[in-house]
Structure 1
Amino acid sequence: MYQRVKEYIQRYHMLEKEDKVVTGVSGGADSICLLFMLIELQKELGFSIVAVHVHHGLREGTADADADYVQKVCREQGVDLRIFREDVKKYAKENKLTLEEAGRNIRRIRFGQVLEESGGTKIALAHHQNDNAETLIWNLCRGCGLKGMGGIAPVDGVYVRPLLCLKRKEIESYLAERGISYCTDETNLEDDYTRNRIRSHVIPYLEEQINQQTVEHMADTMEQMRKLGEFVEQETRRHARQCIRYVHGNQAILNAEAYGKAPEALQAYMIHEMLCQIAGRRKDIESAHVRAVMELIEKQVGRRVDLPYHMQARRCYEGIVLSKTTDVDTIEDISAEEPATFRIFERQSDIVIFPKKTYTKWFDYDIIKNTVKIRHRAPGDYLTIDKNGDTQKLKQYFVNEKIPREERDQVWLVADGSEIMWIVGYRQNQKYQVTEHTRRIMEIHFHGGKKDGREH
């Protein structure tokens, strides 16, 4: 089994020698198996490990025992451990979430915190094939697209799932053969949660009455669907660039003529992506909302439809205007050739990892004073260079960076009046960076065949 996990990790390039892996350890069979598997892999691959245990404050007595057990195992194995004690019930009530959702959010917040504080590079989670099968069934029952049919991905950003190649029974056998004990969360045996009912009743029935290899076949199908989903996403983005233009992040215009020429199979995906971009999130953007916008395209100019997150779509002469503002009639005319896309969204409490991509940056939206412009340099341009508020003329920055004079007029700039927020390909203004006090974030993605912020 060790060899299977090792090959699975190598297949998806999950872990490398230089990685520092933050792994969640609840004390249950899955997470304990993952911990011991990582310890064994560490000897061969050379990465380092830090464990995180989150006490949810829900199961009196047994939760304390779980924390004590995890602490004992990590001490015996010489693994660094961080323990967090949380009030999940309070968090769920304050954020109007189920206990399951609240627990998941808090765990992700803490994992991200430890990743940042420890200089970690990956977060390892203990999902396995049965978890994935449960997810697929649940997604299908609620209604989903290709992404939902792909289940849980082996790699998702910094998150890696080395045990997705194993069934639950294999994990339990691995622990039994080595005499490794683990904790049992009694709430997993109750039928209060939908996922528990799928785990306890649906999958056993399918394996006993339909096919013993149900879980494996589902895993194979989900892998195929993920590959297909990646292709569809690529094609969706390609066609969307011809159909949709974004206006300062909180508005978008869908060109009906170009949309009609796009493959019918991709049209719903393009609208869904447009809705998510303007909403600033994906949760609760459903197929019913996509259908409402698609139907609006067939109606007369002036018709409107209300959508989640204070969005409204309106039929205009060009096609559809989608806006998150109260006045959807006011759309500033921006050239479709503008080399960047924008979106504005609320900063969620669980956002701890910011994008580190060269051509995608986040800015504190609420401190921007003017209409953001994408342009080249102009007289009087300057930027803030440190936390003390010290500024520097753009011209001096170009000199210090030894950017050739003949190239300076080609460098793209993101500007708030005369203050430069971002010298694309070079530096982001210190003043506009996202902090713990940020309420709304403007994301700017620069695209279109540029190198080092210059036109080629």
Structure 2
Amino acid sequence: MNDPSTFERFVLENCQRDNLFPKDSKVLLALSGGPDSTALVHVLSGLSAKLNISLGVAHLNHQMRGEESNKDAEFVQILADEFHLPCHVKAMDVKDWAEREGYSFQEGARKCRQQFFSEIAREHHYTLIALGHHQDDQAETVIMNILRGSGLQGLGGILGKSGLFVRPLLNCSRQEILDYLGARKATFREDSSNLDTSYLRNKVRLELIPHIKSDFAPRFKEQLGKMAQLLQWDESFLSEEAQKFFQGLSSRKGSILTLPAGKLKSVHPAILNRVLRFAIQEIKGDLRSVEFDHVQQVCQLLSDNSVGACVLPGDTRISLDKGDLVFSKLNRNAPDFQDENLYSSVLLQIPGETWFEPGKVTFRAKIQSQKIEFNRVKPNQAFLDLDSIGNKIEMRCYLPGDKFWPLGAGGRKKLKEWFIDRKIPKEARPQIPVLTDGSGNIIWVYGHQISETVKIQPETKRVLCLEGFE
């Protein structure tokens, strides 16, 4: 697409096909100054009459690159003046905000930008916010989500339209955008941090994708884009069906939401997982830090083997009560508050991964028969004789009166005394995960010691390999 008009016509066709801009839309362009958003300004300024839209631009100065960041802001103002567009610029210490709110810089920067653009849109009555994401961004996002073990929603990548946000260049490649800017002799800014491979996205873009394209699939990015579109359609359908199911079954009274456990047990996992996420989101307010393992903990409560309640990130409590699955928010400021999560147990998935909220640990369990090199065992690992344990293992925290037979000891002793002998601080003990067998016997004090009763013997046939990730 070396002819600028060809590129613009392609973007116009995409916008019209996907109905990105209803007639008389007032569109705020998110402008960083880089090639993608700069191209967006050039393209939509040229198409504004045909699309019957009006435009403005907004820029958030992250204050991360000193004078380079200030130069970006100056460029944005000059470009806006060139096209006679209203310009909204704000400077913000994004790194400081991200650290205070508990986000990584990349995640925090994205949150700050979205909040800023949404505020400008609300104050100045913009009806849509246009972003410069393109086909290469889509491929990078899908790969990153694959690496993170995402579900269907993550594998679908970036949506062309999501709420106020639209992405007119999503079907254009980065090279096509650069060719367009070159043909128009348009200048743009380069962000030096885009070359820093300590960021996963940059590493995927600069190292992984070129390797896949050269050695496996030359049209890899285009193929990922098509796959993402197919998966978006599938996810949309499943989510709509799950939402209907959720609306038909859920009951909300104040801060408590209930779902009938009996009806949930027969639901297909694809629908059940989405229904549970809807319920968690309604009580928690969002799904931040809620992962696959957390949803599986809730699924355990629906099984006959579940014990007690569970508490997910954001103090979202889920329990079984009189045939209902009850979702509520813990009130840690209540005078009689007790962290019941410390006194409840969670069934360990064997094999699989299980999240344990009190200790903030994910336990991975697998079974093998190979010989174990015990000289390489780390504190977060345990290798146990599975046949001496049985197939049911539960996780909980230390309780008063617990007894334990430490590896190599002559017999059982109170866990409290063992903690004292090991000089483990009193305040640290309640959060230490303890794993027990089906009879309640302690088999591993996580991070410290396994039980003599479950050690590997010469006749051991099945080895249970456990590892915790904090």
TM-score by length of 1: 0.69
In the other structure, the counterpart of 1:282 is 287
1:304 aligns with 2:304: no
Amino acid at match of 1:97: Y
Give the 3-state SS of the residue equivalent to 2:154 in structure 1: helix
Matches within 5 A, 1:145-294: 145-248=151-254, 250-294=255-299
- From 16, 24, 34, the counterpart of 2:40: 34
Paired position in structure 2 for 1:126: 132
The residue number in structure 1 matching 2:57 is 51
- Secondary structure of the corresponding residue to residue 261 of structure 1: coil
RMSD (Å), alpha carbons:
1.7
- Equivalence for 2:69: 63
Report the 3-state secondary structure (helix = DSSP H, G, I; strand = E; otherwise coil) of the residue aligned with 2:265: helix
1:203-237 deviation digits (Å, cap 9, x = unpaired): 11111111111111111111111111111011112
Residue deviations 1:272-306, cap 9 Å, x none? Answer: 22111111111111110110011111146872112
- Mapped to 2, the partners of 1:301 and 1:221 lie a distance apart of 38
Verify: 1:13 aligned to 2:19, yes or no.
yes
Equivalent position amino acid for 2:176 in 1 = E
Question: Which residue of 323, 327, 332 corresponds with 1:322?
Answer: 327
- Greater Cα shift, 12-21 or 183-192: 12-21
Task: Confirm or deny: 8 A CA contact 1:297 1:319 kept in the other structure.
Answer: no
Secondary structure at the counterpart of residue 319 of structure 2 = strand
Name structure 2 gaps, 5 residues minimum: 1-6, 332-336, 339-470
* Distance apart, 1:261 and its partner CA: 3.1
8 Å contact kept, 2:265–2:302: no
Q: What secondary structure is seen at the aligned counterpart in 1 of 2:21?
A: coil
* Equivalent-residue separation in structure 2 for 1:198 and 1:22 (angstroms): 30
Count of matched residue pairs: 327
Give ranges in structure 1 of 5+ residues lacking alignment: 329-456
Instruction: Find 1:106's aligned residue among 105, 108, 112.
Output: 112
Go from structure 1 to structure 2 and tell me whether the alpha carbon gap of 1:242 and 1:259 turns closer, same or farther (over 3 Å shift): farther
Q: Find the residue that maps to 1:252 and give its secondary structure.
A: strand
* CA contact 1:42–1:48 (8 Å) conserved in 2: yes
CA contact 1:311–1:323 (8 Å) conserved in 2: yes
CA contact (8 A) 2:250 2:258 kept: yes
Q: TM-score, normalised by structure 2?
A: 0.67
> Which amino acid is the alignment partner of residue 230 of structure 2?
Q
- The range that moved more, 128-137 or 89-98, is 89-98
Partner SS state of residue 59, structure 1:
coil
Deviations 1:374-421 (A, max 9, x none): xxxxxxxxxxxxxxxxxxxxxxxxxxxxxxxxxxxxxxxxxxxxxxxx
Which of 92, 116, 126 is residue 122 of structure 2 equivalent to?
116
Contact 1:300 1:315 in 2 (8 A): no
1:410 matched residue in structure 2:
none
Deviation at 1:17, TM superposition (A): 3.2
In the alignment, is the contact (CA less than 8 A) between 2:139 and 2:225 conserved in 1?
A: yes
Shift of 1:66: 1.5
Report the Cα distance in structure 2 between the residues aligned to 1:186 and 1:28, rounded to whole angstroms.
Answer: 11
Can you list the C-alpha shifts for 1:332-360, whole angstroms capped at 9, x where unaligned?
Answer: xxxxxxxxxxxxxxxxxxxxxxxxxxxxx
Moved runs in structure 1, 4+ residues, more than 6 A? none
- Residue 316 of structure 1: CA displacement? 2.4
**1:232–1:89 CA distance, 2 compared to 1 (3 A):** same
1:15 CA displacement: 1.0
CA distance in 2, matches of 1:325, 1:87: 33
- Amino acid in structure 2 at the alignment position of 1:317: K
How far 1:104 sits from its partner (Å)? 1.4
Question: Aligned equivalents of 1:244 and 1:195: distance in 2?
Answer: 39
Identity level (%): 29
SS at match of 1:54: strand
| Cα offset, 1:79, TM superposition | 1.5
8 Å Cα contact 1:91-1:102 kept in structure 2:
yes
Out of 24, 29, 34, the residue aligned to residue 23 of structure 1 is 29
In 2: Cα distance, 1:242 partner to 1:46 partner: 41
Kindly indicate whether the alpha-carbon contact (under 8 Å) linking 1:52 and 1:82 is maintained by their aligned counterparts in 2: yes
* 1:125 aligned partner, one-letter code: L
